[in-house]
Structure 1
Amino acid sequence: MRVNDLPLMELFEKLQDAGLPLGIGEYQALLRALQAGFGIPDREALARLCCTLWVKSEEEKHIFDKYFDEFIPTSTALDNLDNLDNSPTN
């Protein structure tokens, strides 16, 4: 599975809609961290990474947990994230 295959932008936008004060810089920070190899081993590592970058309070953590579970189901296999290039493929 590729990073582009994960609904990360949808999750990000939903968190914005729910009131988290997130800008494009926070999303870009996530992409850079993923490209550097952070958050890749499994779903929990991805959750910790997103939470570290995006969540600033306990209230935001509850919102994050709700939508992360909705957008990144436990059945999502993150073990095979082998292509972290965000450019389009042919």
Structure 2
Amino acid sequence: MFSKIAVTGKNKAPLYKDLTEKVANPNFSGGIKWNFTKFLIGKDGTVVDRFAPTTKPDADKVIAAIEKALSVPDKDALEQPAQP
């Protein structure tokens, strides 16, 4: 949770501007309709999923999305030489 900030309108916080605008987030863009819209950010900093305010944080689909995102290998790990 964050402190209270503007998520819509002319004073929209930069974070929510990136999360909701198609240029920065082509797959999950769109306005915030209500409090508690949830965004899942991947290891590389991109949005990998978005959930409605009515979706509980412990819903099966949220947990599955988190587990899937965590199973993606780190880019840095792929670039590191294997240790003997």
TM-score range for the pair, normalised by the shorter chain length: under 0.3
Which structure carries more helix by proportion?
1
Higher-Rg member (1/2):
2
Q: Which has the higher contact order (CA 8 A, sep 6+)?
A: 1
Larger relative strand fraction: 2
TM-score normalised by structure 2 residue count: 0.27
Give me the TM-score of the superposition, normalised by structure 1.
Answer: 0.26
